[in-house]
Chains A and B, each alone.
Chain A
Amino acid sequence: MADTTPQAVEVNCETGEVITRDLTAEEIAANEKAAADFAAKAKADADAKAAADAAKASAQAKLAALGLTAAEVAALVG
């Protein structure tokens, strides 16, 4: 079975030596936490964008119902 342990590359600028090694257990835990945090933030960002888009659409519909033209709505809400 192929080794699926995440790896790190270290380039020593003094010697030029390049070491590719498996992440330590501590680094793997930190990596997994970073992945979870990144996914959570991506979901939060997507949720916030969806909420903002929905609010914008609602505002546009309410303005149109008040009798504003499409150009007038676009001037106000974009």
Chain B
Amino acid sequence: MTKGPTLIASNTVGSGGVASVTFSSIPATYTDLLLKASINSVNSPYLQFNGSSSGYSEKLLYGNGASTSSASASGSYFNWAINGYPTANDFASNDIYIPNYASSNYKSLSSDNVQEGNTSLVSLDLDACLWSNTAAITSISVSGNGANINQYSTFYLYGISNS
């Protein structure tokens, strides 16, 4: 097997947008996963694994060039791990790295995402995330959080192998 990243699947959102994008039946044949997403959405999207709504906690470091802050949260999804850009024709860029996604341990992952719309809204988020669940990750869902993920948003799921 190549070490990758190897593209597993991708999706580009079509006309009209969608409420969510899900990668299902993710094979357990890789060591790590990498999700790269470019998103336009009015509401801040969120991320879930295996359709589960529990066990998510995250710590955020945020900066916008003028100020910095940090925060912690836990709940039914990862909210800061993935971001969208809320105005037309601009997209937030997201990289989410999920090591050992098929292991029987809790899943720790990292995320960096930026919003840069050539406007006053510019930000960089670094997020440390923990999914307290021992199940192998077999599906990843990104929800628009009550609004659509808009047309031309893109999602690429890669697998990385250590052998």
The reply to whether the CB of B44 lies closer than 8 angstroms to some CB of chain A is: yes
Chain B residues near A31 (CB, 8 Å)? 19, 143, 146
A12 to B16, CA, bound (A): 21
A-B CB contacts (within 8 Å), total count: 66
Contact check, A35 vs B25: say whether CB atoms are below 8 A apart. Answer: no
A27 to B53, CA, bound (A): 13
The reply to whether the CB of B121 lies closer than 8 angstroms to some CB of chain A is: no
Partner of B27, one of A8, A13, A38: A13
Chain A residues near B14 (CB, 8 Å)? 20
Chain B residues near A20 (CB, 8 Å)? 14, 18
A sample of 19 cross-chain residue pairs with beta-carbon separation below 8 angstroms, ordered by A number, consists of A6-B148, A8-B20, A8-B21, A9-B11, A9-B18, A9-B22, A10-B24, A11-B9, A11-B11, A12-B24, A13-B8, A13-B26, A14-B25, A23-B19, A31-B19, A31-B143, A35-B43, A38-B145, A38-B146
Interface residues in chain A, defined as those with a beta carbon under 8 Å from any beta carbon in chain B: 6-16, 18, 20, 23, 27, 31-38
Chain B residues near A14 (CB, 8 Å)? 25, 27
A12 to B157, CA, bound (A): 12
A16 to B10, CA, bound (A): 9
The reply to whether the CB of B147 lies closer than 8 angstroms to some CB of chain A is: yes
A23's nearest neighbour on chain B, judged by CB, is B19
The reply to whether the CB of B23 lies closer than 8 angstroms to some CB of chain A is: yes
Chain B residues near A7 (CB, 8 Å)? 16, 18-19
A33 to B9, CA, bound (A): 30
* Chain B, range 112-163, C-beta contacts under 8 Å to A: 143, 145-148, 157
A32 to B143, CA, bound (A): 12
**Contacts known (A32-B146, A35-B146); A13 close to B9, Cβ less than 8 A:** yes
A32's nearest neighbour on chain B, judged by CB, is B146
The reply to whether the CB of B60 lies closer than 8 angstroms to some CB of chain A is: no
Contact check, A9 vs B20: say whether CB atoms are below 8 A apart. Answer: yes
A9 to B9, CA, bound (A): 13
